[in-house]
Structure 1
Amino acid sequence: MTVTIKDVAKKANVAPSTVSRVIANNSTISTKTKEKVRAVMEELGYYPNVNARNLVNNHTNVIGVIMPSATYAPFHNPFFPEVLRGITTQANEQRYGLYLSTSQTDLDILEEVKEMVYSRRVDGIILLYSTIADPVIDFLLDKSFPFVVVGQPPEQLKEKVFFVNNDNVKAAKMVTEYLLLLKHKRIAFVGGRRDAFVTIDRKNGYIEALETSAIQIDESLMVYHDEIFEGGEKAVIELMSQKNPPSAMIVTDDLMALGVLRMLFSMNVSVPDNMSVVSFNNVLMSKLSTPPLTTLDIHIHELGYKAAQMLRQCILDPKASPTSHIVDHHLIRRATSRAHKEIST
């Protein structure tokens, strides 16, 4: 026999409307009453009809999470499981489910986002990437649909978009200054996709630090590859084939950095004796690499948690003015960086 909301109300000695408010986690209901009603629900094996309640409230209690297109192999990069863990932590606290995008191309992403919005499949969206002239952002703004960007939106849209980010210019500048203090002068920059703001900002921070130290900018030391293991390998081949290769590399992603280390090892280039490597993200594999990576911890979990928290506020207050949150960073020095030794000839 099916247990109804009336059965729960009778057993808990409250009105059916009180049970409904407990299910909705209404703040007007005392903690004591909530605990009593929930205990009865568990005892009787009552499970609310979520779909029916969502139809009444015009909410799905689901948020969409948009990954970069499969072209960039996001599931190969541990950044994304970690940022998803942060999103999930907050979503679980608010009893929200996740709808994860699995689109293959940038065009597919736009079409899937349109379907999410028009079908009201989700209450809001988190974008886990930010690129120049992204049509998804323009579409969501046009439809006044709640969304948050993990990263930096285009400059002209900063006052219109909710976003969570690191100060990537400052972070890259700090990493470059660290290597300059270690007496490195030929420092390479290994970036990801060129149209991603994270790549653009980190390159700008790198250049700013070099210019401040009166180091001439060498375009040949700036290379760009996919943020995967193989991308790091290709970057090393490109840089080490130069007549005057670098003595240090700043790699914009830990997974790429592992490819860098592997290729340098195969070339008998000792790290850190003959090459220093500094990376970003501080995922688990960075401390398990050989040697362990010097890397910048950008607090990935916090990026996801704050994004989900911000999206929840957007959903509850659609007229709220856009805000931003900058997550801090700090350098973790391990075994892939050391002072540069000039090779005498």
Structure 2
Amino acid sequence: MATIKDIAKLAGVSISTASRALNDNPRISEATRTKVKQIAAELGYSPNYNAQTLTRGEANMVGLVFPVTDQSALANPFHIDLMRGAGVALEQRHYTMMVAIAETEERLLETVKSMVTQSKVHNFLLLYTKEKDPVTDYLRDAGMNFVVIGHPEKQGDRFVDNDNIQAGFLATQKLLDDHHCQHVAFVTSPHHWSFEVDRQLGCRQCLNERGLG
């Protein structure tokens, strides 16, 4: 089986240059990158991601952290869509997913800690935001790379805002216009998730615009 050393020898470059070329490092000229990649393809070279994990000290994985979830709870279609999209993006970068899901904050935190210390997962996507979240606090203090879905708890945290206020507004609008509901009730969980607060706000905005608030 071909190795990076074989590719470097045939390309007439150092092993480090060959490695950078295969990883599209902009410091390597386009001509060299093209040459190295062509040789790699001809040799049928396949990167050893396990070796890269040992070298970097971190795994080619991203941890997907679900909000605290009871075993009897129905699957959230939004989370499934997120996993599907994340999976497609990660596959293109030769990364895989590892999921953290638990019924309590304590068990969820222990799972995430195990992913960091034992599985060497250093990149995380949290499918929720919550004030005083122990998981977020741990990842922040440990210097891990993470992104949250929703409004970040602290300034400086990276996030993707999926606009739950607008989601609540549009859902209420649909109930009123398409299903002709006369009384709309907004039901929340006991966890007080930030996305529930935002969706309830959007619902109220819609009702107020219709004079039903």
- The TM-score, its normalising length taken from structure 1, stands at 0.52
Q: Which has the higher contact order (CA 8 A, sep 6+)?
A: 1
The answer as to whether partners of 1:185 and 1:215 remain within 8 angstroms in 2 is: no
Partner in structure 2 of residue 15 of structure 1:
14
**Deviations 1:184-223 (CA, angstroms, capped at 9, x unpaired):** 542233445642222221112222333454435xxxxxxx
Structure 1 residues 205, 176: closer, same or farther in 2, change over 3 A?
A: same
Partner in structure 1 of residue 70 of structure 2:
71
Partner in structure 2 of residue 164 of structure 1:
160
Structure 1 residues 193, 131: closer, same or farther in 2, change over 3 A?
A: farther
1:114 Cα shift? 1.6
Whether 1:200 aligns to 2:175 is no
Matches of residues 81-160 of structure 1 in structure 2 within 5 Å? 81-119=80-118, 121-154=120-153, 157=154, 159-160=155-156
Residue type at the aligned position of 1:116 = M
1:28 Cα shift? 2.0
Residue type at the aligned position of 1:80 = H
Structure 1 residues 48, 208: closer, same or farther in 2, change over 3 A?
A: closer
The answer as to whether partners of 2:71 and 2:103 remain within 8 angstroms in 1 is: no
Distance (whole Å) between structure 1 residues aligned to residue 120 and residue 74 of structure 2: 23
Residue type at the aligned position of 2:6 = D
Whether 1:188 aligns to 2:185 is yes
Structure 1 residues 194, 203: closer, same or farther in 2, change over 3 A?
A: farther
Distance (whole Å) between structure 2 residues aligned to residue 69 and residue 198 of structure 1: 14
Q: Which has the larger radius of gyration?
A: 1
1:20 Cα shift? 1.9
1:180 Cα shift? 4.9
Structure 1 residues 195, 175: closer, same or farther in 2, change over 3 A?
A: same
- The RMSD of aligned alpha carbons is 3.0
Structure 1 residues 214, 75: closer, same or farther in 2, change over 3 A?
A: closer
Partner in structure 2 of residue 269 of structure 1:
none
The answer as to whether partners of 1:194 and 1:200 remain within 8 angstroms in 2 is: no
- The TM-score, its normalising length taken from structure 2, stands at 0.79
The answer as to whether partners of 1:23 and 1:48 remain within 8 angstroms in 2 is: no
Partner in structure 2 of residue 41 of structure 1:
40
The answer as to whether partners of 1:168 and 1:202 remain within 8 angstroms in 2 is: yes
- Aligned to 1:166, the other structure's residue is in SS state coil
Structure 1 residues 69, 175: closer, same or farther in 2, change over 3 A?
A: closer
Structure 1 residues 47, 114: closer, same or farther in 2, change over 3 A?
A: same
Residue type at the aligned position of 1:43 = E
Q: Percent identity?
A: 35
Matches of residues 1-345 of structure 1 in structure 2 within 5 Å? 2-71=1-70, 76-119=75-118, 121-154=120-153, 157=154, 159-177=155-173, 179-180=175-176, 184-191=181-188, 194-215=191-212
1:87 Cα shift? 1.3
**Deviations 1:118-170 (CA, angstroms, capped at 9, x unpaired):** 4471121111123343211122222232211112344xx2x132111222223
The answer as to whether partners of 1:130 and 1:153 remain within 8 angstroms in 2 is: yes
- Aligned to 1:117, the other structure's residue is in SS state helix
Residue type at the aligned position of 1:171 = A
Structure 1 residues 101, 75: closer, same or farther in 2, change over 3 A?
A: farther
**Deviations 1:221-263 (CA, angstroms, capped at 9, x unpaired):** xxxxxxxxxxxxxxxxxxxxxxxxxxxxxxxxxxxxxxxxxxx
Q: Which runs of 5+ in 1 are unaligned?
A: 217-345
Residue type at the aligned position of 1:206 = C
Higher strand share: 1
The answer as to whether partners of 1:74 and 1:80 remain within 8 angstroms in 2 is: no
- Aligned to 1:98, the other structure's residue is in SS state strand
The answer as to whether partners of 2:105 and 2:134 remain within 8 angstroms in 1 is: no
Distance (whole Å) between structure 2 residues aligned to residue 84 and residue 102 of structure 1: 13
**Deviations 1:24-65 (CA, angstroms, capped at 9, x unpaired):** 331222344333323322333433333333333344332211
Residue type at the aligned position of 2:195 = V
The answer as to whether partners of 2:150 and 2:195 remain within 8 angstroms in 1 is: yes
Distance (whole Å) between structure 2 residues aligned to residue 205 and residue 16 of structure 1: 56
The answer as to whether partners of 2:150 and 2:163 remain within 8 angstroms in 1 is: no
> How many residues are aligned here?
212
Distance (whole Å) between structure 2 residues aligned to residue 197 and residue 110 of structure 1: 19
